[in-house]
């Protein structure tokens, strides 16, 4: 793992280091290129030991399958219920997984009271719902599906007719603006199906994203649900379609993957999907829509990676092999780019970038946690800022703001010493050999710093950049690391 992490942090095409063995779980293999591998999870299955065993072993991201939807979280107007969603979020965080929130505004699975609203009453209820839910989960969500399935099927490229659409064409951007204001730390996604290849529907979504980017409407990612079967196969231009969206300046994510079928045909299709994502540097992760075939919303199609008994299917092996075949690492996953500034106060867990002391050096950058139990977070970009006659940087001190006492796992990163700022000095032993991944682990409890990227000569010159991320063995809150350098 340490070797793999070090390779991933280099920010280059993955090639396993000599002697390194391939990762053996979906999450670890995806992490080698800075990606996540997630699953949709149902709260009522968290008492199923087989289910939870697979979840905890294989996955690094969780999407509540139904528990964050409008009917679940606001069954009565103005009264919010988070118990089931919290069970999933708490389970994820306690086991080092991140969470994709799904979904804030959608024509389906609305509570009855919302279905009966229209006009300004519905618009303000929708905006309030987005605000309340995103605020409640602020800092705990990697990405929100802010708006789900707002475009019509067929060749028109039109918006889907719905009560939300009838409140005015700007309902989507109103939802995104409300989400950004409520949680500036979450990536904000538009999510849809039948948009996986280039067609009238995906063209319409593309035009919307392009327009949002041009006008500064906050959008950071597009989710491609990717529900496939013989009637709706993996499109030949799947990768090209992901890429053209990425080229707009948004991340792309495969958000609800399932592929009906069996045996090698199903396995081949899973491999194709994974390779397409890995070929697109801004494809930041893949989520399958359930764990075992029997957990699926369309169980009769056996569309998932594990059979009803929890055994790995050929589709699992193809997925793992494709993940291990590598691809470009994902790009920075830090501050959402080129969108309107958040209107809400940033969370207190986000420290400002360090500033260079007079005549000294500093690193600017940040990223997000947490990770746990051997998982690796996306690498974090750091750029060396130097002023005056500062010497080359030989020491980095990442500080994870939420790091709790009692645990340290350190590896040298950027070719230098790295130690969580708040780790007790007598815990963990920072690496001393520049450019060599070393680690030392002590007690449980927090995410820790890993590294391994950067120059091999142990120095970073002015303007040079490197990456680091989190790798931990415990439970960590969302955290934005900063670096100081000397």
Which residues are the active-site residues?
256
256 binding ligand G2I? (CB under 6 A) = yes
Per DSSP, the residues of 227-245 read EEBTTBPPPTTHHHHHHHH
Looking at 12, 109, 124, 264, which residue binds ligand G2I (CB under 6 A)? 109
Least Å distance, CB 379 to ligand G2I, is 30
d(C-alpha 155, C-alpha 209), whole Å: 19
294 binding ligand G2I? (CB under 6 A) = no
Q: Which of residues 6-35 bind ligand G2I (CB under 6 A)?
A: none
229 binding ligand G2I? (CB under 6 A) = no
297 binding ligand G2I? (CB under 6 A) = yes
Looking at 50, 66, 77, 199, which residue binds ligand G2I (CB under 6 A)? 66
84 binding ligand G2I? (CB under 6 A) = no
Q: Based on CB atoms, which residue is closest to ligand G2I, 81 or 109?
A: 109
Least Å distance, CB 193 to ligand G2I, is 6
Q: What number of chain residues touch ligand G2I (CB under 6 A)?
A: 9
Rounded to the nearest 10 degrees, the angle between the axes of helix 238-246 and helix 200-215 is 10
Q: Based on CB atoms, which residue is closest to ligand G2I, 187 or 375?
A: 187
Q: Based on CB atoms, which residue is closest to ligand G2I, 113 or 297?
A: 297
The 132-151 contact track toward ligand G2I, x by CB under 6 A, reads ----------------x---
Q: Based on CB atoms, which residue is closest to ligand G2I, 41 or 399?
A: 41
65 binding ligand G2I? (CB under 6 A) = yes
Q: Based on CB atoms, which residue is closest to ligand G2I, 64 or 378?
A: 64
d(C-alpha 363, C-alpha 252), whole Å: 28
First to last CA, the chain: 29
Contact criterion met (CB below 8 Å) for 363 and 380: no
d(C-alpha 212, C-alpha 140), whole Å: 25
46 binding ligand G2I? (CB under 6 A) = no
113 binding ligand G2I? (CB under 6 A) = no
Least Å distance, CB 248 to ligand G2I, is 22
108 binding ligand G2I? (CB under 6 A) = yes
295 binding ligand G2I? (CB under 6 A) = no
Residue nearest to ligand G2I (CB): 297
Q: Based on CB atoms, which residue is closest to ligand G2I, 205 or 475?
A: 205
Q: Based on CB atoms, which residue is closest to ligand G2I, 139 or 223?
A: 223
81 binding ligand G2I? (CB under 6 A) = no
Q: Which of residues 148-187 bind ligand G2I (CB under 6 A)?
A: 148
Least Å distance, CB 137 to ligand G2I, is 17
Q: Which residues of this chain interact with ligand G2I, rule CB under 6 A?
A: 65-66, 108-109, 148, 193, 225, 256, 297
């Amino acid at each position: 793992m340490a070797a793999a992490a070090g390779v991933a942090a280099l920010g280059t095409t993955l090639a396993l280091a000599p002697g390194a063995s391939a990762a053996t779980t979906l999450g670890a293999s995806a992490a080698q290129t800075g990606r996540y591998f997630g699953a949709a999870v149902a709260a009522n299955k968290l008492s199923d030991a087989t289910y939870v065993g697979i979840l905890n072993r294989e996955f690094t991201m969780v999407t509540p399958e139904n528990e964050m939807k409008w009917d679940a979280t606001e069954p009565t107007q103005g009264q919010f219920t988070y118990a089931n969603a919290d069970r999933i979020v708490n389970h994820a965080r306690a086991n080092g997984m991140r969470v994709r929130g799904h979904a804030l505004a959608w024509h389906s699975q609305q509570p009855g009271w919302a279905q009966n609203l229209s006009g300004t009453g519905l618009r303000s209820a929708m905006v309030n719902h987005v605000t309340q839910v995103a605020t409640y989960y602020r800092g705990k969500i990697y990405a929100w599906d802010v708006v789900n399935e707002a475009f019509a099927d067929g060749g028109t490229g039109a918006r889907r007719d719905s009560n939300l659409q009838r409140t005015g064409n700007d309902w989507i951007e109103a939802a995104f603006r409300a989400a950004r204001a409520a949680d500036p730390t979450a990536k904000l996604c538009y999510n849809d199906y039948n948009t996986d290849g280039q067609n009238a529907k995906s063209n319409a979504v593309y035009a919307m994203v392009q327009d949002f980017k041009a006008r500064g409407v906050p959008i950071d990612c597009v989710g491609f649900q990717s529900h496939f079967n013989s009637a709706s196969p993996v499109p030949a231009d799947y990768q090209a379609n992901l890429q053209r969206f990425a080229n707009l300046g948004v991340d792309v994510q495969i958000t609800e993957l399932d592929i009906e079928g069996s045996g090698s045909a199903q396995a081949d299709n899973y491999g194709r999907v994974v390779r397409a994502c890995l070929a697109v540097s801004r494809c930041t992760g893949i989520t399958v829509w359930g764990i075992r075939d029997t957990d699926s919303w369309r169980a009769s199609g056996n569309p998932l990676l594990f059979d009803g008994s929890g055994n790995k299917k050929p589709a699992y092996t193809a997925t793992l092999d494709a993940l291990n075949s590598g691809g470009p690492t994902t790009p920075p996953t830090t501050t959402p780019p080129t969108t309107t500034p958040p209107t809400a106060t940033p969370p207190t867990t986000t420290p400002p970038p360090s500033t260079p002391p007079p005549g000294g050096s500093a690193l600017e950058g940040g990223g997000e946690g947490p990770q746990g139990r051997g998982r690796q977070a996306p690498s974090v970009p750091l750029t060396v800022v130097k002023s005056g006659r500062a010497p080359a940087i030989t020491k980095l001190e990442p500080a994870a703001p939420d790091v709790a006492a009692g645990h340290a796992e350190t590896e040298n990163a950027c070719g230098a010493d790295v130690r969580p700022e708040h780790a007790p000095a007598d815990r963990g032993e920072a690496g001393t050999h520049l450019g060599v991944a070393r680690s030392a682990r002590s007690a449980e409890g927090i995410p820790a710093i890993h590294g391994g990227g950067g120059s091999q000569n142990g120095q970073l010159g002015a303007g040079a950049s490197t990456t680091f991320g989190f790798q931990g063995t415990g439970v960590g809150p969302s955290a934005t690391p900063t670096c100081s350098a000397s």
